[in-house]
């Protein structure tokens, strides 16, 4: 009898919730789908959190268009997904506190504390808190990698899962091309399932690098995959060109140049040939030569993108008062104050387009040094074990260097879906490095 009463009460509450929610989400069909989707996710969460996490990893690269339609104010269903990842990581740490908590805290603890403390100083506390949660989610992803990767075989399994996430964005890129690409006044660009071509570009660099490792290490032993994989990688390279993101082009070229110099010199000829072919394409050539003009303010000439960035950075850092050098103005403050200090703002707020400028402005020298120290400590650990399994650690080290370079001229902290994959790969490599170091010590 009691169960019937409880069931009746729950049915009434659910009915009231659905009726109110349906009215609220009437113009947002994706929000209506979110309710049954949440029930399915909850069921899988109860059955197997590891399986749920693997599904999320495979699908996250394709979810940005869907999550964007569920946005209400500063948050969307994506915030719930971030919370789910943080919850899964927290439960994993409780179940297996060592070595995940110890390894992660070495890198992330000071960064997380600094970022959350800066929310108090921020003039835009909602977006500030949102960005702090994104950083916490990156740390959770990193920690999950340490929990899940406890052997070389674990590493191989999860690297294949990460690479599988590229299938939907690659296929959707052709739909994006057919629909005219990303709305852009400066020529044709594609963004696929991501909100901006730059995010797709950095994601493709990551996936091409991982795919190259899979191919070279022969993780896919069947002969047909050894034939298909190089073709698939070539398709991704072509898609990378269509993003027209120059920093990503440079990052991938540097990856293969360094690989060729250290391992296989014949790739130098491939790289030179590919560069020559790319330069024969007018839009790619124009995209590169564009940096040679518009470097100075002129009445009849607009600044090129890099010169515009430098003007933005100079304006922001010169505007800072000395009293804020140590702790900054709070997360999210650069965008908030840019309309005041940037002479080219034209009544619009701008993000920093540089992680380093953003950190110096928003969390000051303390947060800046904490973040840089985290990258250095991670890189040092990977470098220490480079020669034990050269290809794994070589690729991870180059990906870390690329991330640091991309951070110089782009808003990498905001690219959540890309950060998920990047930090999971870094977490896997960091865990593997500790495992191999411990085995040698034993």
Give every CB contact of residue 388 below 8 A, 6+ residues apart in sequence.
436, 440
Q: What is the mean pLDDT of residues 60-81?
A: 75
In three-state secondary structure terms, 195 is: coil
Distance in angstroms (rounded) separating the CA atoms of residues 2 and 128: 46
Count up the domains in the chain and report the number.
1
Residue 33 maps to a domain: no
Residue 39 maps to a domain: no
Residue 303 maps to a domain: no
Per-residue pLDDT, 300:
52
Q: Which of 89-93, 135-139, 223-227 has the lowest mean pLDDT?
A: 223-227
Per-residue pLDDT of 300-316, as tens digits, reads 556 778 888 999 999 99
User: CA 34 → CA 28, 64, 333, distances in Å?
Assistant: 10, 14, 32
Per-residue pLDDT, 6:
45
Q: Which helix (H) or strand (E) holds 156?
A: helix 152-164
Residue 44 maps to a domain: no
Q: Which of 13-17, 53-57, 192-196, 258-262 has the lowest mean pLDDT?
A: 13-17
Residue 13 maps to a domain: no
Per-residue pLDDT of 270-294, as tens digits, reads 888 888 877 777 777 777 766 655 5
SS3 helix, strand, coil % of the chain, rounded to 5?
75, 0, 20
Residue 272 maps to a domain: yes
Distance in angstroms (rounded) separating the CA atoms of residues 439 and 442: 5
Residue 159 maps to a domain: yes
Distance in angstroms (rounded) separating the CA atoms of residues 148 and 139: 14
Contact status, residue 137 vs residue 192, Cβ threshold 8 Å: no
User: CA 255 → CA 66, 232, 315, 387, 421, distances in Å?
Assistant: 33, 18, 33, 18, 18
Q: pTM for the complete prediction?
A: 0.89
Query: 339: closest CA among 373, 309, 362, 316?
Result: 316
Q: What is the largest CA-CA distance in the chain?
A: 81
**pLDDT band, residue 208 (cuts 50/70/90):** very high
Contact status, residue 61 vs residue 193, Cβ threshold 8 Å: yes
Distance in angstroms (rounded) separating the CA atoms of residues 360 and 309: 15
Residue 419 maps to a domain: yes
Per-residue pLDDT of 8-34, as tens digits, reads 444 444 444 444 444 444 555 555 565
In three-state secondary structure terms, 278 is: helix
Range of the domain at 214: 49-291+353-441
């Amino acid at each position: 009898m009691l169960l019937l009463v409880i069931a009746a009460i729950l049915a009434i509450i659910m009915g009231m919730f659905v009726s109110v929610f349906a009215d609220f989400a009437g113009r947002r069909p994706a929000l209506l789908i979110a309710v049954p989707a949440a029930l399915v996710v909850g069921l899988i969460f109860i059955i197997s959190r590891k399986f749920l996490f693997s599904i999320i990893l495979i699908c996250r690269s394709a979810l940005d268009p869907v999550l964007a339609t569920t946005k209400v104010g500063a948050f969307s269903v994506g915030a719930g997904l971030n919370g789910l990842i943080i919850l899964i990581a927290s439960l994993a740490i409780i179940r297996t506190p060592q070595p995940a908590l110890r390894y992660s805290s070495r890198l992330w603890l000071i960064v997380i504390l600094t970022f959350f403390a800066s929310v108090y100083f921020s003039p835009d506390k909602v977006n500030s808190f949102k960005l702090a949660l994104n950083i916490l989610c990156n740390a959770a992803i990193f920690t999950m990698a340490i929990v899940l990767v406890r052997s070389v075989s674990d590493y191989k399994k999860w690297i294949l899962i990460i690479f599988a996430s590229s299938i939907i964005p690659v296929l959707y890129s052709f739909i994006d091309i057919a629909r005219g690409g990303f709305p852009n006044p400066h020529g044709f660009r594609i963004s696929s399932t991501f909100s901006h071509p730059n995010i797709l570009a950095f994601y493709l660099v990551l996936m091409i690098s991982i795919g190259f490792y899979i191919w070279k290490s022969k993780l896919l032993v069947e002969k047909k995959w050894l034939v298909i994989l190089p073709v698939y990688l070539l398709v991704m390279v072509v898609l990378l060109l269509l993003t027209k993101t120059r920093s990503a082009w440079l990052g991938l070229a540097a990856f293969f140049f360094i690989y060729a110099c250290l391992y296989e010199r014949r790739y130098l000829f491939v790289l030179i040939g590919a560069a020559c072919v790319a330069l024969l394409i007018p839009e790619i050539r124009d995209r590169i030569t564009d940096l040679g003009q518009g470097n100075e303010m002129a009445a009849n000439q607009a600044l090129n993108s890099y010169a515009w960035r430098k003007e933005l950075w100079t304006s922001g850092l010169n505007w800072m008062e000395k009293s804020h050098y140590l702790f900054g103005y709070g997360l999210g403050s650069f965008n908030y104050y840019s309309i005041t200090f940037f002479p080219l703002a034209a009544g619009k707020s701008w993000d920093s387009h540089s992680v380093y400028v953003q950190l110096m402005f928003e969390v000051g020298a303390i947060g800046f040094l904490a973040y840089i120290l985290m990258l250095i400590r991670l890189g040092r650990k990977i470098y220490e074990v480079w020669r034990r399994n050269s290809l794994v650690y070589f690729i991870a080290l180059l990906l870390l260097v690329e991330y640091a370079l991309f951070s110089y001229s782009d808003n990498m902290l905001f690219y959540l879906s890309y950060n998920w994959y990047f930090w999971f790969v870094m977490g896997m490599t960091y865990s593997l490095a500790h495992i191999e170091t411990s085995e040698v010590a034993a």
